[in-house]
Structure 1
Amino acid sequence: MTGTDQINGLRYPARMNRRPETTAHLQYRVPAVRHLAWMCHAPQLISSPMDFTPETYLLDDAEERLKAWDSAPQLGPEVLTEPPARRLGHYFERLYECMMQDLLGWEVVLKNQPVRSNGVTLGELDFLVRNPADNVVEHHEIAVKFYLGHLETGQDKPLWYGPNARDRLDIKTRRLTDHQSQLTEKPEARNLLTSLGIDTPARPRIFMPGYLFYPLTNALPAPDSIPPGHLRGYWLYIDNLDAKETTGNRKITDTKHWVPLIKPHWLGLWRQKEVPDQNQTEDALEEVRSAGIPRLFAALERSDDGDWRETSRVFVVPSEWPGLPRRG
């Protein structure tokens, strides 16, 4: 790192150049270990002087710990063997706590702490952690996100929606930077911190890795606000897939080697020993057709070690997604 950025009077290490995604985390066979390794190095979906880069702070033996946990997960943190939370966000929080404590060596001061005023909840602090480099308490707001780019007729720029189109990249980014990360500036939060023996403002940080999915049938520019090294996938409508309207992308849309990805396995790349089950894929595609539920798939190829490994990922969405009129 060289230089610093400054926001709200607080100084931050200058942002490092984002490395392209590697597949190093695929070496781990225990899913939670693989997800942790992915989180340590995944590029962000936000560009801000507040963004947090875990790999900058990894303990020297972090990789050895991951390998040991992969060999004997029962000897590692509980999150490695407990049933994952049903909601991806809750599972992500559990992994984040483990990463901070066991791979970075930071103290978790508190987590999921509501901030209230006269019985009204103003917001919730995701994590307060202590940075051992300077002993400063930091306020970390975290999220893992998956957004699909959609350009409606008449629009100048695409909007980026979550599979549930009520979620949108620009809205989430603005809320993170302008509201959630600034919560410790409120008097009610300051009073809470003082009660915990923290007399100075907590340094705000944001951690939001994830994927942007680009339309498979037409080109879209990347958002101006997103670092160029972000993780990418593709998306297409179920009727385009059924009609084989995927010109130039036959390898990606060869569903014979697809597998449906179920949360929490949206985190990081997928691997498996078994040959992809075409019946599972067809069942998931039928869910898109009949129930109108977007589904995420990994396109796999057999690797030299005999396992099947993800080479790309594709969202298939119903014809009415994102709930706007289809035109053109």
Structure 2
Amino acid sequence: MSDYFEPWLQFKNAIVRQLAFAIASPNLLRSTPHELQMQHPFSWHSDQVWKQHYENYLPRLYALDLNPEPLIRFFNQLKSTRLGLRFEYLIWFWLLDKDYHPYQLLAHSLQVIEGKTTLGELDFLIYNQETKHTEHWEVALKYYLAEQNTQLYHWYGLNRQDTLYRKLQHFAQQQFKFTTALQMQIDQRFAVMKGQLFLPLFHTTHNLPVWLNTSRRLGYWGTQIFAQNHFRIARSQWLCLDNEQGQQDAVLWCDGLYYNRDTDTPYMFRQVEYQNPLLWQQFAKQSLHP
């Protein structure tokens, strides 16, 4: 057992576990890296904020675990299998449950249009009834692997065009550029980024960047195949593990996400991580002797 706050694992229904994860899990980052060019500043909710939201929502989660039909009906409108959209819908469902949090949802997927030009879109426009502030939230579910080191510029997504630096820059330069919406002044802007970060195999957790949130379980990635105690999970479970019935032993290894049964540690196996073999050799040497 670990000290990580992972209360979503107690729920029996898969979609309810995912809903609990979307609320209870902390952001991947605890603060904005100083390397970022903050043209339009934004903030991050603290771990305690998400923990309090989860605790306030517990009665609803218990009820949904017994009868998930309202949640299932809500997700019937989602035709895409993209995990990022599924995460957004989970946050949307929770925000609509206005009896369990201080937020009034003003708009979801709000397009900002000037004449015939679409200037952008806001994921969520929210009125915080405690602070009396209008808030703009952008939400994302992300999986990033640290390659040469753990500094901001070296975190890559499974699509190598998707980097942590590029995503944060998009937040700061594009997505949070709006000062008003629905004829209301935007008082605060929040990034909600959850998912999983992966360190290179054999990398220690010492001297990590101060902005990286270590209260969330960190995974590892590499090309090493383990002989036992690992199981592979389907892409649909990347957001949150299902019950153990769906766990299949890792026999034929291919690119994807695996877990160690003994430690509950996520492991992203990649057959090819660098096109440049010299770069890989240098990286492997650094990883073995961090």
**Conserved? CA contact 1:43–1:231, under 8 Å:** no
2:184 maps to 1:176:
no
Of residues 17, 20, 26, the one that matches 1:37 is: 20
Compare relative contact order (CA 8 Å, sep 6+) and give the higher one, 1 or 2: 2
Q: Runs of 4+ in structure 1 displaced over 4 angstroms?
A: 80-84, 155-158, 218-221, 322-326
TM-score by length of 2: 0.78
Count how many residue pairs are aligned between Structure 1 and Structure 2.
Answer: 263
Computed over aligned residues only, the root mean square deviation of the Cα atoms, in angstroms, reads 3.0
Alignment of 1:290-309 (within 5 A): 294-300=255-261
* Matched letter for residue 233 of structure 2: P
Q: Give the corresponding residue for 1:193.
A: 182
Alignment of 1:51-62 (within 5 A): 51-53=44-46, 54-55=49-50, 58=53, 61-62=56-57
In structure 2, runs of 5+ residues without a counterpart are: 33-41, 282-290
CA displacement at 1:115 relative to structure 2: 2.2
Distance in 2 (CA, whole Å) between partners of 1:156 and 1:262 is: 27
TM-score by length of 1: 0.69
CA displacement at 1:21 relative to structure 2: 2.9
Q: Deviations over 1:142-166 (max 9, x none)?
A: 11111111018xx988711111111
Of residues 58, 64, 69, the one that matches 1:63 is: 58
Q: Give the corresponding residue for 1:14.
A: none
Distance in 2 (CA, whole Å) between partners of 1:163 and 1:184 is: 30
Alignment of 1:68-217 (within 5 A): 68-76=63-71, 78-79=73-74, 85-102=80-97, 103-104=100-101, 106-151=103-148, 159-181=154-176, 183-185=177-179, 190=180, 192-194=181-183, 198=184, 200-217=185-202
- Larger Rg computed on CA atoms: 1
- Helix, strand or coil for the counterpart of 2:265? strand
Of residues 216, 228, 232, the one that matches 1:230 is: 216
**Residue identity (%):** 24
Q: Deviations over 1:254-290 (max 9, x none)?
A: 4454122313x2123443235x433xx445x2xx3xx
**Conserved? CA contact 1:165–1:323, under 8 Å:** no
Closer/same/farther in 2, CA of residues 72 and 157 from structure 1, 3 Å limit: closer
Distance in 2 (CA, whole Å) between partners of 1:33 and 1:21 is: 19
